[in-house]
Amino acid sequence: MQIKQLKQKYEQFIRDFCSQLLAIHIDRLERKWISISLMVIGLLVGIIIFDAFLHGVNPPSKVETIDSVSLHLNKEFAEDNLGVQVDEKGGIIVRMVAGRYSFFPKHIDVPAETKLTFRWVSMDVLHGVHIPMTNMSTMIVPGYVAEITTSFPKPGEYPVLCNEYCGLGHNHMWSNISVIAKEDWTVPVKLPVKGGSKHE
Ligand code: CUA
């Protein structure tokens, strides 16, 4: 069988490669420097991994698609569903839509020192979102959901800025988030959907 032959060839190649590698004479000093550089690489990779877990950084490969044109018909990002919500497990999820030239809802209240999961989508073109003093800085690409987990260290007013050029009104595209002390924050009550029509 062809696959069997390939496997044998591959194994032979690995064996030869390893034996050749072991046969190479490496100077003591050289060996020392190789280990030092490997240790430095290991340390740097370790710091990146540790930091990614600590600050909830997602790799850019995490892809979640959505149809930007029909956001208003989409269950998750329908108008009544935007803003702050608490899921079954008690986690706080904030859904926001970016569009020329604002973030919707215009204003939200969130608790300080609490883990918040933001889910951003764009209804038109490429936008960005940046909240100073937090890890919130991402592109909002039409057709994709940008999810970021963050927490606000202190109560106060935080600006939300668009940091990708999106048109003539780009400079004016910003809104703000009120961060309230944890003990003063209450779960927002969702008003019953008006109009009575189904959204699907
Ligand atoms: Cu939106 Cu710049």
pLDDT per residue as tens, the chain (200 positions)? 678 888 899 999 999 988 888 888 888 999 999 999 999 999 999 998 998 888 766 666 677 888 888 887 878 888 888 889 888 888 899 999 999 999 988 889 999 988 999 999 999 999 999 998 888 889 999 999 998 888 898 999 999 999 999 999 999 998 889 999 988 888 776 654 444 444 43
At 32 the pLDDT is 94
Q: Does 140 sit in the ligand 1 pocket, CB within 6 Å?
A: no
Joined together, the tokens standing for residue 88 give: 């079954």
Which residues, including other chains, have CB under 8 Å from residue 78's CB and lie 6 or more apart? 71, 72, 199
Give the closest residue (by CA) to ligand 1 atom 1: 127
Q: Is the distance from CB of 91 to CB of 116 less than 8 angstroms?
A: no
Give the whole-angstrom CA distance, residue 55 versus residue 199: 36
The helix/strand/coil state of 164 is coil
Tell me which residue of 164, 152, 157 sits closest to 100, measured CA to CA: 164
The predicted pLDDT at position 53 comes to 84
Strands (E), 26-122: 83-86, 92-99, 102-104, 107-111, 116-122
**What is the maximum span of the chain, computed from C-alpha positions, in angstroms?**
81
Ligand 1 pocket check for 127: Cβ under 6 Å: yes
C-alpha radius of gyration, the chain, whole number: 25
What's the confidence (pLDDT) of residue 61? 62
Evaluate whether 166 touches 126 at the Cβ level (below 8 Å): yes
Nearest atom (ligand 1) to Cα of 165: 2
State residue 106's pLDDT score: 87
Distance 120 CA to ligand 1 centre (A): 13
In sign, the C-alpha dihedral spanning 144, 108, 128, 100 is: positive
Residue 173 has a pLDDT of 92
Q: 1 CA to middle of ligand 1, Å?
A: 59
Tokens of 193: 């959907």
Tokens in use for 49?
């991994």
Q: Which atom of ligand 1 is nearest to the CA of 101?
A: 1
- Which atom of ligand 1 is closest in space to residue 164's alpha carbon? 2
For residue 122 and ligand 1, the question of a CB distance below 6 A is answered with no
Contact criterion met (CB below 8 Å) for 118 and 94? yes
**Any atom of ligand 1 within 6 Å of the Cβ of 123:** no
- What is the residue whose two structure tokens read 């608790």? 111
Res 43: pLDDT: 97
